[in-house]
Amino acid sequence: MKTSSQLLLTFLLNAVWQIALIAALASLGAWLLRRSAMRFQHWLWVAALCLSLLVPVVTVVRALPTSLPVEVSYQRNLENPGFFDQIPTSSERTTASFSNSAFQLNGTLALLLFTTFGIGLFYCGFRLAQAWFTTRKVRQMAVPLERDEAVEAIIRECAKRLDLDRERISVCSSATVAVPIAIGWFRPMIILPESLLQERDPDLLTSAIGHEFIHVARHDYALNFFYELIFLPVSFHPAAALLRSRIKQTRELCCDELVAERILNAEVYARSLVALASSAPPLRRLSVSTTVGIADADILEARIMSLLSKPTLNRRWKQLLLFAVSLLLLVPSFAAAAFAMRFELAQDPAEQEREQEKKKVEAAQFKEGKPFDPRFRAEIERKREIEMEMQALKQGALVRLSRITMDQAIQIATSQFPGKVLNCNLDADRWEEPGKLAKDGIVFYEVIIADEVVAGGITRVAVNAVDGTIIKSGKELPRKRSPQN
């Protein structure tokens, strides 16, 4: 429970500055891409929203408890050369290293943060579920279009220009919707308002139907639901709400560009947008649902200006700019995950003292062989199993990495430092993880030779287990005994 609370604290408090940084970088990137096609800005905002969840999650993953490498060496008993004695040391649990030390947070403040986050998460989840059920209700209330050759001709023409299968897409009408909308993942449905069908304006119908067909072609309904799920854990942050709104706005601008490019003249489509927007009451247009439609983004003026202006960048500059913006967003974002801060709950002194006293009692009972808490016994067994697994991994790695035998190492050491060999160990330093040596790690034999001049003195010689070179050597003199009174 304590570990999960610390991980949640690490997620929340790092997300505060990480999401703000990502949103600022995305805003700068969108400004740089202002003269390019709108789809590039759209995917920039989508990438920023995904990073706003991914970067804090990576921070939490790096804070998960991991096992430190177990220092294991293998000792040869020179009096019985046929056997090796394994010298294990204890394993302990720690957390991944961070650029900053852990910050202690008051328990009351942490509880307030958890409560606020939980309430916000529940509210946003409830709103998303409500929107889902509203969308299903809208779909159930839709009715198939009556046979109308003019409307059917517009539908066939739009499907043909967008290379879509007309039979796979249902086109219906409903009195409950004020603007055209698209629904569905595997069975897409386009729902048109009854008032729009009664106007009989071919340009208006072509604009509405073509726009929704593009939503279907782009799979915007499924992607929109996916973005809502990503937004849910970071919905507490205002910058995440900004990213979400920018995705909706640029999505409509992308659809507008495609309509003007493949279906209808830009000026005619712009006039149709104004007519459609004016016919939709604001309260009904902004009702809670998971649908995607022509009036999702409340930026009519920006949409009209975007239709009437054309991108001015050539292909080469566009590619360079996209590469620069990608680096601008990704490099600082992953750097933010690498240099994250770790937060811990400040433990109450009385509780800490009780835990220490309990550990002392359990350790004493364990030493005396008396029965004690089963949970503590299970923890001891679990640590023993982990220790044995680590030892097995290290043993296999040491045997696999060494290229010379122990006898060869002893011969190399005694050729430089003659004397009686007391001990010889196969060991390694700088493990990246159990069973995997770090890039700068070394596998070596430590040969201990008795000093022939100074009684009780020894010489330690480290012999590289790969190429047989002597890494280092050093003499140790016997310790002087303190005089007894």
- Closest C-alpha to 110, from 2, 193, 209, 199: 2
In this prediction, residue 40 carries a pLDDT of 92
User: What's the pTM value of the predicted model, to 2 decimals?
Assistant: 0.65
Higher pLDDT among residues 408 and 45, named by residue: 45
Tokens of 162: 């967008």
Tokens of 62: 């790096």
In this prediction, residue 16 carries a pLDDT of 92
In this prediction, residue 90 carries a pLDDT of 39
The model's pLDDT over 246-299, given as tens digits with 9 standing for 90+, comes to 999 999 999 999 999 999 888 899 888 888 877 665 544 445 667 777 777 778
In this prediction, residue 480 carries a pLDDT of 62
In this prediction, residue 51 carries a pLDDT of 95
Show Cβ contacts of residue 267 under 8 Å, excluding neighbours closer than 6 positions.
307, 308
Compute φ and ψ for 174, nearest 5 degrees.
-155, 145
Could you give the 3-state DSSP secondary structure of residue 80? coil
Pairwise CA distance, residues 175 & 44, whole Å = 37
Buried b (16+ CB within 10 A) or exposed e, 47-66: bbbebbbbbbebbbebbeee
Query: Is pLDDT at 364 greater than 80 in this prediction?
Result: no
Query: Is pLDDT at 223 greater than 90 in this prediction?
Result: yes
Compute φ and ψ for 427, nearest 5 degrees.
-150, 180
Query: Is pLDDT at 425 greater than 80 in this prediction?
Result: yes
Query: Is pLDDT at 213 greater than 90 in this prediction?
Result: yes
In this prediction, residue 222 carries a pLDDT of 92
The model's pLDDT over 159-209, given as tens digits with 9 standing for 90+, comes to 999 998 888 899 999 988 888 899 988 889 999 998 888 877 889 999 999
CA atoms within 13 A on the CB side of 374: 0
Share of the chain above pLDDT 70, in %: 79
In this prediction, residue 312 carries a pLDDT of 66
Instruction: Kindly indicate the confidence band of residue 367, based on its pLDDT and cuts at 50, 70 and 90.
Output: low
Cα end-to-end span (Å), the chain: 55
Q: Is 435 left (phi over 0), alpha (psi -120 to 50) or beta?
A: left
Query: Is pLDDT at 454 greater than 70 in this prediction?
Result: yes
For the chain, the average pLDDT equals 80
Indicate the range of 166-170, 187-191, 374-378, 462-466 predicted with least confidence: 374-378
Indicate the range of 42-56, 60-74, 274-288 predicted with least confidence: 60-74
Query: Is pLDDT at 97 greater than 60 in this prediction?
Result: no
